[in-house]
Structure 1
Amino acid sequence: MSGLAHAWRWLRSLVFSVTIYAAMLPIGLAYLPWTIAHRDGAVAAAHRWCRFVTWLARVLLGLRCEVRGTPPEGEVMIAAKHQSFLDIILIYGAVPRGRFIMKKELVYAPILGQIALRLGCVPVDRGKRGAAIKQMMADVRAGRADPGQLIIYPQGTRVAPGVAAPYKMGTAALYRELGQPCVPVACNVGVFWPKRGVLRRPGTAIVEFLPEIPAGLAAPDFMARLEQEIETRSDRLLAEAGFPIAVGPR
């Protein structure tokens, strides 16, 4: 790619990034009365923003976003490969009522904290995640909170394509605590929307919902199966995107 073409792509990427974050304000204001009245308003606003992001990525960047598999609609834990902010957008936009675990300090962030709470996100103190999940499940059973899909990232952070990172055993603890099936999610989005930097690349970014893992497996069996399924499928999606990675049994 010539220097001019690279600069033009970088500029479009910058415009894209500024625009999607700026769009949060008018979308949030448009849905504010509904959000105040009911949690459904916050969910609808978040889904609208996700759709706007994927539309603008296609129009401005030539980046198409594809969701494969069957997004779950019932109460499940979603354990996903995390490569960039784009997988968060695509996964949340594909499920009816997703929620995340967030640091308790974020509750006090202006606007963002309250929106996150309205979305059903679970604020936790460091080291007290299990207690927060128990409270969330008790609230659902008592009718004070809506059921939904808890989205977690078993590696705990964004991991660039082709980089190995361990799966944390806290995932197994949540799986046991919830007593729900787990839906693994693979992706290749980091090829097009990197972990760091402004530049976004054209192509087809994919998240894929894989067959669910039933509840009740022993922790070692669950973790081995989860990692095998997510990593194997993510490697194949990376290869499909043209990323140089060896694809084979793990």
Structure 2
Amino acid sequence: MAILGILFLPWALFSARGARAACKTYCVWVRFTARVLCGLRTELRGEVPTGEVLIAAKHQSFLDIILIFSVVPAGKFIMKRELMYAPVIGQYALKIGCVPVERGKRGQAIAKMLRDVEQGAAEPGQLIIYPQGSRIAPGVRAPFKVGAALLYEQTGQTCVPAATNVGLFWPRKGILRKPGLAVVEFLPPIAPGLDRETFLKRLEQEVETASNALMLEAGFDVEKDLA
């Protein structure tokens, strides 16, 4: 990451396109080396979102970030403000349009982002949020927070849910990587217009059901293995 960050820096300093190219190159490199060195294959399923949409994704490890960003045209993440100060990651994240938010001030950050897009100061793209707010280990139950519903309501955009099983092979903590097939699956879109409660309930049901199915396909039965 550091090497690519330095190599692309002259281009990335003056161009969001350059920063995005650096990030996508890194994603390709990680997917390639994971397969060669660890036997960890990766796959994207479903229709890849394009245009200006909201992607609400299951988050199990750093790998699902890499997989999603590697295929969407102009992905940008809702991220914790502290990540702005992380070496390489923070600087490139800001350049590609990621939205840093402080606890309790998410609405202000999103409103500014929408204004910037409308006024031409920022590029439109695929806004990616993790509804559970953090990496969640496979099989662990955690509520979907209201922030995703507020974002869906505020942007008025179609939401594309995304399920995954990547945590079975690339854990949220530690350096062990296991062989297998790590999948991110884009699910059928949810049209704008649902009320907050209905949207959040539907989002959680669809993402969790699809993620459990992907984990079962990989040999992990949520109900039995955690019983």
What is the TM-score normalised by the length of structure 2?
A: 0.94
Question: For residue 53 of structure 1, what is the amino acid of its counterpart?
Answer: V
1:144, CA displacement in angstroms? 0.5
Pairing of 1:1-250 with structure 2 (within 5 A): 24-246=1-223
The higher radius of gyration belongs to 1
1:101, CA displacement in angstroms? 1.8
- What SS does the corresponding residue of 2:47 show, helix, strand or coil? coil
Task: Provide closer, same or farther for how the CA distance between residues 84 and 111 of structure 1 changes in structure 2, counting only shifts above 3 A.
Answer: closer
1:109, CA displacement in angstroms? 4.2
Task: Provide closer, same or farther for how the CA distance between residues 43 and 196 of structure 1 changes in structure 2, counting only shifts above 3 A.
Answer: same
* Divergent runs of 4+, >2 A: 102-114, 244-247
- Identical-residue share of aligned pairs (%): 60
Q: Distance in 2 between matches of 1:74 and 1:192?
A: 31
Question: For residue 126 of structure 1, what is the amino acid of its counterpart?
Answer: R
Q: Distance in 2 between matches of 1:84 and 1:169?
A: 21
Q: Distance in 2 between matches of 1:151 and 1:165?
A: 19
- What SS does the corresponding residue of 1:102 show, helix, strand or coil? strand
Question: For residue 105 of structure 2, what is the amino acid of its counterpart?
Answer: K
1:244, CA displacement in angstroms? 2.3
Q: Distance in 1 between matches of 2:99 and 2:28?
A: 24
What is the TM-score normalised by the length of structure 1?
A: 0.86
Unaligned runs of 5+ in 2: none
The number of residue pairs the alignment matches comes to 224
Question: For residue 188 of structure 1, what is the amino acid of its counterpart?
Answer: N
Match of 1:11 in 2: none
1:188, CA displacement in angstroms? 0.6
- What SS does the corresponding residue of 2:222 show, helix, strand or coil? coil
Q: Distance in 1 between matches of 2:2 and 2:172?
A: 24
1:245, CA displacement in angstroms? 2.5
Write out per-residue CA displacement over residues 186-214 of structure 1, whole angstroms, 9 at most, x where no aligned residue.
00111111122221110100000011100
Task: Provide closer, same or farther for how the CA distance between residues 111 and 55 of structure 1 changes in structure 2, counting only shifts above 3 A.
Answer: closer
Q: Distance in 2 between matches of 1:123 and 1:206?
A: 27
Q: Distance in 1 between matches of 2:221 and 2:90?
A: 39
Write out per-residue CA displacement over residues 14-51 of structure 1, whole angstroms, 9 at most, x where no aligned residue.
xxxxxxxxxx1221222222212210000010000000
1:107, CA displacement in angstroms? 3.0
1:124, CA displacement in angstroms? 2.1
Q: Distance in 2 between matches of 1:104 and 1:153?
A: 15
